[in-house]
Structure 1
């Protein structure tokens, strides 16, 4: 799959460096051309370029048998993906990070693998809050309750998969409810970042703020890892005995991922057997399903700056393949 994970944005043309499919009901379409001899990138549009053959390749995130259902249940907003068949199926709550909005591609992939997957939006979407400070933790507990009681989901408990801020929220859910049997934290801090977490209007868990005076500027963008305080209490995600998979990359530009070891050290020895921590060399913050290119930097709306996500093409690609296998394995083993 080197044709895909080794891709780079076209300089001066690609407006969004992150290659994702927003509409999972349609495929990503790639046009592949075979050219006569080697042609420098700058000369591709010249009339002298000879195309020997061309074709299109489609890459789907949602299997054609998977049903996509928009969710507007009380305050909950998101998308439910239902596999084909009678069920019931194992359920997975899927959350992304602090850029907000609704991201569906991972949930669509999980449903294509036999899970009822709920892609949950929690701010900067529809009528949801526009700020993390206005998000209440009861919203996530309601999402767990709703998914775990859905008629298509069997009653042995659900899994939660979260990336970045979604990973921090997954840890909080592991602390807060025994309905979550599997936690996957992908590149999220073991503490809660940016804002305090409120529950029923009261502070539930103290957040840590980014010290913008300690941001490190480079040609790619800002590194935030030295601007995050690491002396706060880690979230005891092990409290209700969920199986935990914690995935980090050591080239993450947002935070020092060796702090994940503090999470392990804070865990009581008798519960460490339920946690698997994997640190990938040369890997950045955005560890996503495999065969898509690394995104080294992107604009972060909360900070108002372009931040470095990190990652080197080949190492990051290998990590994404391994991480996806591990995610499917822990879900299949403990909630299927």
Structure 2
């Protein structure tokens, strides 16, 4: 533990980060003839960037680096290696990275490949805690030569700090504690009314609100709804009552800033099968986005009035430990067709459903589950569904520019679990799906 603290202290001194938790300090001004331009300097976290360097020597090898220091003092970094053109310029929209954390022409590669630095615990999510009052600071630097991620690159030729915001000015945030409900609601500026959406994540638990805040910045009243592991909610997934989610739907539907009559829900992983249950049993839910979900109720029982849907279980004998030490649990979830009582009767849903899946999902086979759900809908004469299926994408499909995560540390096992996906294909899926998700919600809520 002492050696880790010493490493952190040394890295902090090198970066000039003393006295600031949210950003770096002590950077030099661009040196001499080299100019680095990142535009826009202030942007929403789901917006694209333009990164250009001018004033280099013809064919000069350089390394572009991005670094983020989170509010938890966790350092994330990325690097791409480039060669300037004959005019001494490079533009990430056209110039390929020839090494580093990614290769090829990937305009947003520096953000897509951000990962915990080597001194940090691996597999962490890049979290922004304070979504309204401060941005995520990203420092972009250009260095001479092709340096590795663990190599001290020397002084930067130029540097620029940019701000990535999760909220536009005027977003209103309310911490929700009403009845049994807990969570955060984000309201766009203006008179409204706006379409209302409930946002659910998976089995990590707690309150995860960055997507809801971005949705509010895009014109939705968004309720980030935790359902376990937060404040006085149940500690673990030991069974859920759909009445809790119904209470959230009714609260949002009656909110004066929400345009009715119906509301939407967006759910990821375990949150996706909850989103399917909500649109099946709660008629006030008229649009459901299910990201990397299952067509059955998973993990624990779901109760609603006098109904009970068993939770689809796991067979840990099918778990594989990879050579890297990462757990592959992709074949552990029981097949819904073997445990039909767990399948959600989607044919009862009158609203519209958007399935978003990655074809390289290694938590479970979400593409297969979406196809099974669609077969069931078709069998009952339903056409109230759409499918976005992405080759090379893994499990955690999040808003664009969210860094790719190959694995995460599982809450139960305490060990890294494979999420799947190929980095660039996964991030392209995030880029493509985000606008389509918003378009789907608007088309059925407005």
Q: State if a TM-score over 0.5 links the two structures.
A: yes
The residue that corresponds to 2:43 in the other structure is: none
Match of 2:28 in 1: none
Larger radius of gyration: 2
How far 1:155 moved relative to its partner?
2.0
Q: Unmatched 5+ residue regions in structure 2? A: 1-107
After superposition, what is the alpha-carbon deviation per residue over 1:142-183, rounded to whole angstroms, capped at 9, x for unaligned? 111111111111222001000111111000001111101100
Report the counterpart of residue 148 of structure 2 in structure 1. Answer: 40
TM-score normalised to structure 1 length: 0.94
Quickly say closer, same or farther: Cα 1:183–1:256, change in 2 above 3 A: same
Query: Where do residues 127-276 of structure 1 align in structure 2 (5 Å cutoff)?
Result: 127-199=232-304, 204-218=308-322, 219=324, 221-230=326-335, 231=337, 232-233=339-340, 234-257=343-366, 258-269=368-379, 271-276=381-386
Alpha-carbon spacing, 1:267–1:90, altered in 2? closer, same or farther (3 Å): same
Q: Distance in 2 between matches of 1:306 and 1:175?
A: 34
Go from structure 1 to structure 2 and tell me whether the alpha carbon gap of 1:236 and 1:161 turns closer, same or farther (over 3 Å shift): same
Alignment correspondent of 1:6 = 113
- 2:326·2:416 contact (CA, 8 Å) conserved in 1? yes
SS of alignment partner, residue 183 of structure 2: strand
Q: Could you say what the CA RMSD is over the residues aligned between the two structures, in angstroms?
A: 1.7
Tell me the CA shift for residue 263 of structure 1.
1.1
Q: CA deviation at 1:22?
A: 2.7
Alignment of structure 1 residues 284-299 onto 2, 5 Å: 284-299=394-409
Query: In 2, are the aligned partners of 1:280 and 1:319 still within 8 Å (CA)?
Result: yes
Q: Name the residue aligned to 1:28.
A: 136
Is contact 2:123–2:406 with CA below 8 Å preserved after alignment? no
Partner residue of 1:74? 179
- Superposition deviation, residue 272 in structure 1: 3.8
Higher relative contact order (CA 8 A, sep 6+): 1
Secondary structure in 2 matching 1:162: strand
Q: Is 1:283 aligned to 2:411, yes or no?
A: no
The aligned residue for residue 323 of structure 1 is 433
Distance verdict in 2 for CA 1:238–1:288, change over 3 Å: farther
**More displaced 10-residue stretch of structure 1: 230-239 or 174-183:** 230-239
- Tell me how many residue pairs correspond in the alignment: 332
Could you tell me which of 398, 403, 416 is aligned with 1:306?
Answer: 416
Aligned match of 2:97: none
Cα shift readout 1:221-249 (whole Å, capped 9, x = no counterpart): 11212111112333123423111100111
Runs of 4+ residues over 4 Å off in structure 1: none
In the alignment, the residues of structure 2 paired with residue 40 and residue 221 of structure 1 have an alpha-carbon distance, to the nearest angstrom, of 24
- TM-score normalised by the chain length of structure 2: 0.71
Quick one: distance in 2 between partners of 1:15 and 1:316? 19
Instruction: Name the counterpart of 2:87.
Output: none
Gaps of 5+ in 1: none
